[in-house]
């Protein structure tokens, strides 16, 4: 069965652009964003990897390590990395798993046979320091992902882990959030002493805490 939210992210050891990599050892106590690419030397993936490399400082700031995967061998990845640097103006600054035998792709359900027997779809997994899967996304091979959206979700998950709030539609860091329904008004007074804007008893906006 496909990995579901709060499942334990499976461990693995596989080749990568940074040599053999054990996932749990590499992740340490960081958050992780793991994302798959259908194949090396494909145009959409090339743009995604360049964009991810440019955004790495933003992931670093949030305590998140990023790691890509493509179902080719590491010598192919090395040639592709040169093309990524040349065309996207950014050098790969995170590991790219060389999943030549599809070990990791199968473990994480990244191959969807009705889409392709051989290529992975564009999967994204956000994994927390306890190794729990906190977000899954699946895009078709022809659609490049929005890495700003992945950062936005990380911001939301990290905020809601710390405070009894949820984030509304299209929320971005710094905007008002919502007090979760399980918090009574009595409890909310202690948690949010500056008060909140109650549109309905179940819809209470509050300034972003923290
Ligand atoms: C790409 O990465 O460009 C791509 C891969 C498979 C199908 C379509 C596009």
Query: From its phi and psi, is residue 19 left (phi > 0), alpha (psi between -120 and 50) or beta?
Result: left
- Residue 205: is its pLDDT beyond 90? yes
Quote the percentage of the chain above a pLDDT of 90: 98
167 is annotated as an active-site residue? no
The response to whether residue 45 sits with its C-beta less than 6 Å from ligand 1 reads yes
Average per-residue pLDDT in the chain? 97
Residue extents of the structural domains in the chain: 13-144, 163-206
Pairing of strands 197-200, 203-206: antiparallel
- Residue 109: is its pLDDT beyond 90? yes
pLDDT digits 0-9 by tens, 159-177: 999 999 999 999 999 999 9
Of 9, 21, 33, 45, which residue is the catalytic one? 45
Spatial distance between the Cα atoms of 33 and 44, rounded to a whole number of angstroms: 18
Tokens of 170: 């299209």
Query: 163-206 adopts what CATH topology?
Result: Antioxidant, Horf6; Chain A, domain 2 (3.30.1020)
- Measured CA to CA in angstroms, residue 188 lies from 11, 144, 178, 191, 193 at distances of 40, 41, 11, 5, 8
- Residue 76: is its pLDDT beyond 80? yes
Tokens of 162: 């710390």
Are residues 155 and 30 in contact, defined by beta-carbon separation less than 8 angstroms? no
User: Radius of gyration (Cα) for the chain, nearest Å?
Assistant: 19
Q: Which residues pair with 128 in a beta bridge?
A: none
Going from the Cα of 58 to the center of ligand 1, the distance in angstroms, rounded, reads: 26
Looking at residues 42-54, what average pLDDT do you find? Answer: 98
Question: Which superfamily is assigned to 13-144 in CATH?
Answer: Glutaredoxin (3.40.30.10)
Say what the pLDDT of residue 1 is. 73
- Residue 102: is its pLDDT beyond 80? yes
- Ligand 1 atom at minimal distance to the Cα of residue 46: 2
- Residue 98: is its pLDDT beyond 80? yes
Binned at pLDDT 50, 70 and 90, residue 136 comes out as very high
State phi, psi for 46 to the nearest 5 degrees.
-60, -45
């Amino acid at each position: 069965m496909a990995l579901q939210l709060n499942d334990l992210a499976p461990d693995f050891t596989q080749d990568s652009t940074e040599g053999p990599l054990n996932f749990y050892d590499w992740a340490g106590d960081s958050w992780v964003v793991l994302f798959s690419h259908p194949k090396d030397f494909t145009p959409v993936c090339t743009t995604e990897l360049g964009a991810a490399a440019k955004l790495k400082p933003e992931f670093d700031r949030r305590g998140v390590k990023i790691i890509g995967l493509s179902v080719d061998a590491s010598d192919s990845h090395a040639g592709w990395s040169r093309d990524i640097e040349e065309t996207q103006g950014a050098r790969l600054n995170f590991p790219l798993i060389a999943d030549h035998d599809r070990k990791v792709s199968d473990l994480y359900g990244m191959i969807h046979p009705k889409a392709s027997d051989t290529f992975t779809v564009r999967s994204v997994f956000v994994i927390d320091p306890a190794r729990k899967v906190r977000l899954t996304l699946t895009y078709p091979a022809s659609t490049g992902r929005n890495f700003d959206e992945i950062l936005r979700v990380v911001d939301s998950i990290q905020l809601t882990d710390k405070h009894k709030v949820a984030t509304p539609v299209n929320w971005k860091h710094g905007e008002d959030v919502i007090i979760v329904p399980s918090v009574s008004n009595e409890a909310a007074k202690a948690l949010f002493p500056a008060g909140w804007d109650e549109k309905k008893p179940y819809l209470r906006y509050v300034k972003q805490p923290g």
